[in-house]
Amino acid sequence: MSSNHPCPSEQIAAYLDAELDGSELKAFEQHVEGCQACRNELNAHRLLLCELDAAMSQDREVAAPADFARIVAAHAETDMRGVRSRTEHRRALRFIVILALAAFSLLGASTSDSLISAARVISRNVFALASFTWTAIYDTGASVVVISRVLSRKAFIETGSLSLLVVFLALAVLLLSGLIASYHRGRAIE
């Protein structure tokens, strides 16, 4: 056949399975009539199919021993002994140990880097939270002090009344004595 039309060898199986139709079928049959290589391959495929059909049509049953799997496994294990020499086993063991040590050292190096960076991130976040908390407490305390100064100035100094100051002082003394008494009651119970 000419180089313009290569042999359609992939269509041989499709032809045998009756998957070609119409123009594909005609083109393939015309090609096989003119190409000895494709005709030989087609005949070889037909012969193989005939042999497979003959082999599959015969009802031959081969009885396997009851412990067939165990026997095969035992032979497989014992057949491998003696294939390798002791020096090859030692060399393989050394190679495995070297590979394991290299893997562990590489894993250790990458793990230590990731642990250190994780510790840095955590410590940075903890310090940021502590700084925020301290700033919030300080600002709250400063705000309370400023508000109490403004209120006390308004209430006591600008009004000129010391009676309100005496009332606040009495309330503070009562509150302090109540706290001291509850503290001593708690210590007596313990």
Residue 88 lies in a domain: no
Residue 109 lies in a domain: no
Report the C-alpha gap between 156 and 181 in whole angstroms.
30
The pair of structure tokens assigned to 159 is 């009004």
Residue 129 lies in a domain: no
Residue 78 lies in a domain: no
Per-residue model confidence as pLDDT tens digits over 39-87:
998 888 888 888 888 777 776 676 777 887 887 777 766 555 556 677 8
Whether the CB-CB separation of 14 and 20 falls below 8 Å is answered with yes
Residue 29 lies in a domain: yes
Residue 4 has pLDDT above 70, yes or no: no
**DSSP state letters, 97-164:** HHHHHHHHHHHHHHHHHHHHHHHHHHHHHHHHHHHHHHHHHHHHHHHHHHHHHHHHIIIIITT--SHH
Residue 5 lies in a domain: yes
Residue 19 lies in a domain: yes
By residue range, what is the domain housing residue 25? 1-59
What's the predicted TM-score (pTM) here? 0.30
Per-residue model confidence as pLDDT tens digits over 28-38:
888 889 889 88
Residue 133 lies in a domain: no
**Domain count of the fold of the chain:** 1
